[in-house]
Structure 1
């Protein structure tokens, strides 16, 4: 019997090793750092976390940090702080919150809430919540909205809001709301959550669920419009709520809700994808898709929330809006009034974060992870 050639055996073993390594879980993205602007040691805020969603099913959610005092931008800090978590942060980072000493990160398709140390980004605990979406807080509790059903499941019925104790980091209570609940806001002792029904068009939901935080029960639903998404509270007790429309004949709009009467008090006939309210100004952008036109229409608007009027000024005034392909997140520094706008670009390669001064001129921009979308300041 002829013996196998030793060279052939070596080549075969090497091939098996390489093939085996290719079959492992995707490797995590390494951490990177760069200087974006000159140091400012007197900055009131220490910095800001940036949560990059990462495209669905690619396991590329990542966490970045910009240090306002050193001027340095750090990419993928979760991976650096948690090397033992072999698959990194997970699949689709959907919301982020700093509350107390902890950083909370919603990872939607990975069905989890990551609880991290806000100083080190080191994991404290993972809390499993199926198809979780957004997070908010009040009086020692954090609240998480969740679809519950699998991603894209049109048969999914009610979603929930879960109450989590920030000391024990356990889910204490759950309350049923509408289908595919999205963003939340708290005014007084009431929590408001936008029900979208986004998995079953054209049978969208069209209500805000109102939850009494004392009893933790849904006490009513406010009829607003189809396919609700964002909910932001101003300092006058009103909510600003976005409707995405149906992407065909029903356009996106912005609604103002009186939380004393639990009713719509005003409608702005302008498209709105996301917004941030700082003092008396709401900064918003729209990136609205139209199936008939097969394109996005992009706009930027400022609203005076005190008198509820659209302002005749913009927060980007130097032409930089032409560089931004897909605005995907917005935030405002409460001390400097700088406006941060993120660009998802093509959704599969690194995005960008832009900083604009109060006059609307670009101060700096930096490359982020894939689909930068959510922000949280750190003091």
Structure 2
């Protein structure tokens, strides 16, 4: 078949156009942040939540993710994307996150600082210097930050400067405010042969330690319920002393109850405490993981798990937990092997998995944005 000259010219024109389009086309642009659609939001009062990924010590890979309830989008490494001029990013080992007023605070343990940013935009505001910081809480425009140096740093939330330090026990961990008192769990984690075993009680009016409560060795979590009690976890010594969970009456500042369970992660919403038991014994080489619920009103363990569809068998290393107070969705993070990306799981209030998404390295701590 003979092709006419006009048709040859037309084919040549189409071929040239395809070549030009191919030459001009670029590969998708890679950025530090990545957004993934995981689910639609469902809360009218909560806008979303931030998830802090700790990152391994020395790797400078702490990162901040955000889940937007309105769009259902999950964005990884938001801080790095919003703050490209912050040379070292979020820093080395992010140990806690909390929102107070219009600001968000992330305690960066190995970078010896608290990163302060705008709670709605994650834009950097300032850094507060706190060596070996661990956890943070707030009371009347003051931020209280535990330092493994053996004290609580008191920072003004207006000036964002440390005004005072309050000496407590060795290597203090989490802390909570109840009845104008601050309760601080002391671990002594740097000295396994001589663990600490007390909770320091600080009068927030005078900012002085008024009492130490003898509880158990190697204390870690401190979570308050709405009835004036605090729940304190002991990690034991990983050999012959088992982990336990204690209830302290803050009216009298005494231990009122003990549960012989390991609470590796613990959060309380209304009358229910959600916890996962994660313990390792060096003598046996065995690690046990279960998911439990506890009624804090009558202080009884419930004979049920908050994961009911078998997904718990997929979670290798539970590392963080949070509960949406409106929808009662439960969020559990999986640190997996501690060196690669983690996974965030969302379960509805019946314990069924709704979705999961890849996070940064060692996902751990949550802060809901209202």
TM-score (norm 2): 0.91
* CA distance in 1: counterparts of 2:40 and 2:232, whole angstroms: 38
- The reply on whether 1:31 has 2:33 as its aligned counterpart is yes
Report the counterpart of residue 192 of structure 1 in structure 2: 183
Superposed, 1:40-59 pairs within 5 Å as 40=42, 43-59=44-60
Q: Deviations over 1:39-72 (max 9, x none)?
A: 55x6321000000000111111000000011000
8 Å Cα contact 2:169/2:200 also seen in 1: yes
Aligned partner of 2:172 among 177, 181, 184: 181
Of 206, 209, 213, the residue aligned with 1:218 is 209
1:281 lines up with 2:272 in the alignment: yes
Matched residue SS, 2:312 = helix
TM-score, structure 1 as length reference: 0.88
Q: Deviations over 1:9-31 (max 9, x none)?
A: xxxxxxxxxxxxxxxxxxxx811
Question: 1:303–1:309: 8 Å Cα contact kept in structure 2?
Answer: yes
Of 285-294 and 198-207, deviating more is: 285-294
Moved runs in structure 1, 4+ residues, more than 4 A?
Answer: none
Higher Rg = 2
User: What is the root-mean-square deviation of aligned Cα atoms in Å?
Assistant: 1.0
> SS in structure 1 opposite 2:298?
coil
CA contact 2:40–2:69 (8 Å) conserved in 1 = no
Q: Structure 2: how far apart are the matches of 1:327 and 1:221?
A: 31
Residue 366 of structure 2 is aligned to residue 375 of structure 1: yes
Partner of 1:16: none
CA contact (8 A) 1:242 1:274 kept: no
| Residue 303 (str. 1) matches residue 304 (str. 2) | no
* Cα distance in 2 for residues equivalent to 1:68 and 1:43: 9
1:342–1:353: 8 Å Cα contact kept in structure 2?
yes
Residues of 2 paired with 1:169 and 1:85: CA distance?
A: 18
Structure 2: where are the runs of 5+ without partners?
1-30
Contact 2:342 2:361 in 1 (8 A): yes
* Residue matched to 2:90: 89
Number of residue pairs the alignment of both structures matches = 340
Deviation of 1:88 after TM superposition, in Å, equals: 1.1
1:247 paired residue among 238, 247, 251: 238
Query: Could you tell me how far apart the structure 2 residues matched to 1:335 and 1:372 are?
Result: 23
- Stretches of structure 1 lacking an aligned partner (at least 5 in a row): 1-28, 149-158
Q: SS at 1:202's partner residue? A: helix
CA-to-aligned-CA distance 1:127-158 (integer Å, 9 cap, x gap): 1111000000111111100012xxxxxxxxxx
Deviations 1:293-317 (A, max 9, x none): 2242111110000000001121000
